[in-house]
Every structure is written in structure tokens, then in C-alpha cells.
């Protein structure tokens, strides 16, 4: 498949120049999260990837970069920005895969869970559709944990809430800054970056749940990518032989060091989180097909995993959570099986759900929104009436 086709699949009508190394970085990010959740035992130790959740932070940097590039490109080429087109693209990118996973796992967890665990699952289903599951986990997660309620198979959707909230707020901030004066965009982005970073470090030891789940503490990670996109738009991509050679290597080492060697197990995000975030930024800013890191990340295995990283992220935790319920003491081989099943389901979702629904030729805007509304309403009704239905069924069985 050519890079041109990849670009159409990945960016739709945004027309951004396709960069396979960014997909490779996506692959690293999602595999770090999978290794973190997998809990593999290596050389008698299971904590090798305790910091692997930093993969989500890498995703945030990538998202900030791509979203800002899309907005600035449209502004530069047309002199205007269409919220309708922007949110249509985001909807096509995110909701079909999410709805497919929710529909698939609903009957499984309907029968597997019970009591407060089941009720909380239904709550997270609705919250994930509304892109506010991060807020739900902050508000009630710790209280339910004290009652022995598990986080459930949708805990990972907190990051989708963060991203969607960013998509709502950031275009407004950027366009208001531009309307005031194009010269204030960079100072505004820098100011918000440092305010959010300072806030996250301040809150790290004061309210860890709030700090972890809320956009205010994660905004700077997305803005790291936004700043890259703005500087690239204004000054062009970096073309310096030494920097392009060295900086991606440094960036990759910063991520690996944080995950494997740092020994840091803190309430993230905080100042220390700058290390992997900056590492991801270095790779995006300096890597290309002309240097070793860019060529490595642009190889077919990395690109293939990166392309389906969204589906892989959606599927891996529901799969892991299911098997942890029925197999409390898994071996490494069992965990590899979980990963293999996650890849299989992700591949099917990517090719048969994600790709078709991103294409307007497959389904136009009006039918697309009608279908989404019907599916969302169906899932919400299942969640609302799920607990009473199960209680009724159990009473009939008894």
C-alpha cells in the first residue's frame, strides 16, 4: 500500500503529508501501554514496564501535533476554519471503533459482572460515549474502589475523554488568539503550556486522582505537540544534518530510559513527565526517512501496528480484564495469548470498521450521523436497563 493511500486512510481529507515515522511512534506508545497492562514476568520480575502508561502521554503529544497541523493548514489554505468539517473528521476517526468495541463487549460483561461492578460498568459505558469517563473515574472511582469495585473494562477510555475535551477547547483558544492577532498565538500556547505543567506538578502530591484524570493537568502534553506544529508551520521542518541524526536518537532514549531504567514511580503527570514528552517531541520534530530512527519507525511492522493503534488501544484492556477475571494467576504464555487476541480483534476493527467509516464515499454525512445516533441510543438504553434486566433474569432463574 502506497504512502498516498496511507495518508488518505489516516488523515481523510486533511491532506497532511504522511509521515510513517509518526505511525511508528504510535506503535511504540500503544505497545508500552500493552506491556504495562500485561504484567509480563521477565527474569523473575514483573515491574519492568511499570512506567509503560507513559505511552498515553506520547499519544497526547502526537494528537496535539496532528490536530494543530490540521487546523493551521486549513486556515493557511482557505483563510477560514470549519468546525463542522473538523468535528466530522474527529467523529469518523473515533466513534465507529469505540461503538464497535462497546457493542462487542457489552454481552460479555453483562453476564460476567454483577452488583456494583456491573452498575459501574454501565455507568462507564454511558460516560465513554459522552467522552467524560475521565471525569467519572475522578469523581466516583476512588469511592467505589474502597467498596471493592473494580475499575472495569473501560478504565482506559479516560484518555479519549481528555482528547475530546481538548478538541472542543483548543480550536476556540487558537481561533480567538488568531482573531486578536496572529502574533499572540505562540505566546498564548507557551503560557498555557507552562501554566498546565506547573499545575500538574503542584497537584501531583495534593490530589493524585484529579491530576491523573483531568484535562487541566494533561493540557501541556497536548500543547507540546501543538507548539511543534505551530513552529513547523511558521518556519518549516528542521533540516539540519546533525540535529536530524542525533535528536531522534536522544528522544527515543529518553522514552526508553523513563520506562525501563528511571525507577520513577510517581503520581504522574509532573515535572518528571517532561522527559518522555520531550522525547516524543524530539522524534516528531527531527525524525524523517533520511535518518536511522525515522527509517526504523517507518518500517512495515511499526507502521502496521501504528495504523491500528487506536483499535488496539480500545481492545487490549477489555480483553485483558476478561481473562484476569477467569484466570487470576496467568503465565507469560497466557498473557501473550491475550495480546494475540487483542491484535486479531484490532485488525478486524481497523479494516472493517475504522477504514470504511472514515471514507465519505462509504457513507455520507447525514446517514453517518443518523447511524451513530441510533447506535449510541441503543447502547445507552442497554446500559440504562442493563442492571434491572439482569436482576429480572436472575430472579426468573431462581
DSSP-derived secondary structure for 81-140: --HHHHHHHHHHHHHHHHHHHHHHHHHHHHHH--HHHHHHHHHHHHHHHTT-HHHHHHHH
Q: What are phi and psi of 42, to 5 degrees?
A: -125, 125
**DSSP 8-state secondary structure symbol assigned to residue 164:** H
Position 264 scores a pLDDT of 64
Could you tell me the pLDDT band of residue 17, with boundaries at 50, 70 and 90? confident
| Per-residue cell: 57 | 502521554
Q: Which residues contact 49 (CB under 8 A, 6 or more apart)?
A: 32, 35, 36, 38, 40, 259, 260
The residues that bridge with 42 in the sheet, in sequence order, are: 45
Distance CA 101, CA 92 (A): 15
Question: Three cell numbers at 251?
Answer: 528522544
Cell of 290: 533520511
**pLDDT beyond 60 at 394:** no
**What pLDDT is stored for residue 329 in this prediction?**
86
CB 152 within 8 A of CB 317: no
Q: What pLDDT was estimated at residue 391?
A: 60
Helices (H), ranges, 39-82: 54-78
For the cut 80, the answer to whether the pLDDT of residue 14 exceeds it is no
- Cα 347 to Cα 340: distance, rounded to the nearest angstrom: 11
Query: Per-residue pLDDT for 289 more than 60?
Result: yes
246 against 48, higher pLDDT = 246
**How far is Cα of residue 384 from the mean position of the Cα atoms in its chain?**
26
Return the pLDDT at 385.
86
Cell of 76: 493557511
β-strand partners of 45: 42
Mean pLDDT, residues 189-216 taken together:
95
Q: How far apart are CA 213 and CA 180, in angstroms?
A: 32
Helix (H, G, I), strand (E, B) or coil at 45: strand
Who wins on pLDDT, 116 or 294?
Answer: 294
pLDDT (tens digit per residue) in 74-123: 998 888 899 999 999 999 999 999 999 999 999 999 989 888 888 899 99
Average pLDDT over the chain reads 90
Cβ–Cβ < 8 Å for 95, 130 = no
pTM recorded for the entire structure: 0.92
Q: Which candidate, 156, 161, 150, places its Cα nearest to that of 119?
A: 150
Amino acid at each position: 500500500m502506497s504512502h498516498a493511500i496511507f495518508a488518505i486512510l489516516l488523515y481523510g481529507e486533511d491532506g497532511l503529508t504522511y509521515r510513517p515515522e509518526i505511525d511508528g511512534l504510535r506503535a511504540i506508545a500503544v505497545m508500552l501501554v500493552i506491556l504495562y497492562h500485561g504484567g509480563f514476568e521477565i527474569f523473575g520480575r514483573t515491574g519492568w514496564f511499570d512506567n509503560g502508561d507513559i505511552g498515553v502521554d506520547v499519544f497526547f503529544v502526537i494528537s496535539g501535533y496532528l490536530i494543530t497541523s490540521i487546523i493551521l493548514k486549513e486556515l493557511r489554505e482557505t483563510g477560514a476554519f470549519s468546525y463542522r468539517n473538523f468535528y466530522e473528521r474527529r467523529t469518523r476517526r473515533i466513534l465507529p471503533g469505540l461503538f464497535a468495541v462497546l457493542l462487542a463487549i457489552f454481552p460479555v460483561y453483562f453476564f460476567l459482572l454483577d452488583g456494583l461492578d456491573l452498575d459501574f460498568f454501565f455507568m462507564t459505558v454511558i460516560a465513554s460515549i459522552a467522552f467524560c469517563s475521565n471525569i467519572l473515574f475522578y469523581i466516583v472511582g476512588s469511592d467505589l474502589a474502597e467498596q471493592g469495585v473494580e475499575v472495569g473494562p473501560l478504565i482506559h477510555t479516560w484518555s479519549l475523554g481528555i482528547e475530546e475535551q481538548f478538541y472542543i477547547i483548543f480550536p476556540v483558544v487558537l481561533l480567538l488568539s488568531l482573531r486578536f492577532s496572529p502574533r499572540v498565538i505562540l505566546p498564548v500556547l507557551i503560557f498555557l503550556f507552562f501554566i498546565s505543567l506547573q499545575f500538574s506538578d503542584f497537584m501531583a502530591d495534593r490530589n493524585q486522582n484529579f491530576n491523573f484524570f483531568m484535562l487541566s493537568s494533561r493540557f501541556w502534553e497536548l500543547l507540546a505537540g501543538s507548539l511543534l506544529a505551530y513552529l513547523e508551520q511558521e518556519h518549516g521542518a528542521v533540516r539540519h544534518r546533525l540535529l536530524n541524526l542525533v535528536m531522534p536518537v536522544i528522544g527515543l532514549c529518553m522514552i526508553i530510559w523513563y520506562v525501563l531504567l528511571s525507577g520513577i514511580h510517581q503520581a504522574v503527570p509532573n515535572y518528571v513527565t517532561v522527559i518522555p514528552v520531550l522525547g516524543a517531541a524530539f522524534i516528531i520534530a527531527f525524525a524523517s526517512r533520511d535518518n536511522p530512527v525515522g527509517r526504523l519507525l517507518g518500517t512495515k511492522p511499526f507502521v502496521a501496528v501504528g495504523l491500528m493503534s487506536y483499535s488496539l488501544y480500545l481492545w487490549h484492556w477489555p480483553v485483558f480484564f476478561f481473562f484476569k477475571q477467569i484466570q487470576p494467576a496467568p503465565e507469560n504464555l497466557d498473557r501473550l495469548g491475550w495480546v494475540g487476541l487483542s491484535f486479531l480483534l484490532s485488525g478486524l476493527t481497523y479494516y472493517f470498521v475504522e477504514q470504511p467509516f472514515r471514507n465519505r464515499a462509504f457513507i455520507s454525512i447525514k446517514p453517518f450521523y443518523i447511524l451513530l445516533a441510533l447506535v449510541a441510543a441503543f447502547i445507552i438504553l442497554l446500559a440504562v436497563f442493563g442492571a434491572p434486566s439482569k436482576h429480572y433474569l436472575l430472579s426468573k432463574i431462581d
